[in-house]
Amino acid sequence: MGPTAAPAGYEAHLAAGRAMYAGTRVGRPGRARSYWLVIALMRALRLRWRVEVEGTENVAPGAAVLVGNHVSALDPVVLVIGTWWRVTAFTKLEVFQGRGAAFFRLMGQIPLRRGDAAATDWAIGMAALALADGGMVGLYPEGTRSPDPAKLHRLHGRVLLPVLQGSPDVPVHAVTTRYTRRPRRRTLVQVRVSPPLPVDPRTMSADEIVTVLRDTLLALGGQTYVDRSARDAKADRPEPPG
């Protein structure tokens, strides 16, 4: 797959997405004015979590692609609570149609209808615009949350690789998140951020890039690798009794 260039104009591209997702309210990915208010409120209300972030000094100001493991829907939220970074993450469309829709819309996240090529291309275009603005884009190439937080599942490149190809000079960092629930104490959330990774979509194959990302995530997060998609692993889990 070749590089995906940034769309010609933000407003036109946003309008195309809103038409595509007619019936679903889409915010302003990467540019939501309400973003900082939402984060300020989340920081004020973070009674349930103690967030510790390691490695923020590895990230220079400006555009960056943050590639993370995915163990909770809260992964991008706790990252920004702990850093005050503006991170625009890909978020499955169903979230924009459920009870938490307003939260993700006000944070300016990118809706993605999985399995829809046109919707995927639109989302990649929104990410390119966010990076062109000097923002950070969050990607979770496992595709869905891991059913076992101790395991990292196979990484997919359908969204990841075009984003990197479209902005080849933007630094790429691995980010891992780990949650430790403690009796009668706040949940400890440990976020670790790597230095810029040696990946270049102009000179490296897709497999080489994925290998670097996978190995870095494993070293950073202490998970065990499973060469199987998280979605398949979820499908094979037994239904709870009752």
Record the pTM: 0.90
- The rounded Cα 180 to chain-centroid distance in angstroms is 21
What pLDDT tens digit does each residue of the chain (242 aa) get?
444 555 769 999 999 999 999 999 999 999 999 999 998 888 876 667 889 999 999 999 999 999 999 998 889 888 998 899 999 999 999 989 988 899 999 999 999 998 899 999 999 999 999 999 999 999 999 988 899 999 999 999 889 999 999 999 999 999 999 999 888 888 899 999 999 999 999 999 999 999 999 999 999 999 999 998 888 887 876 544 43
Give one word for 222, left, alpha or beta, with left for phi > 0 and alpha for psi -120 to 50. Answer: left
86, amino acid identity = R
Place of tokens 């104490």: 185
| Domain residue ranges of the chain, discontinuous segments joined by + | 49-85+126-235
Which ranges constitute the DSSP H helices of the chain?
10-20, 35-44, 75-83, 101-106, 117-132, 160-166, 206-221, 230-235
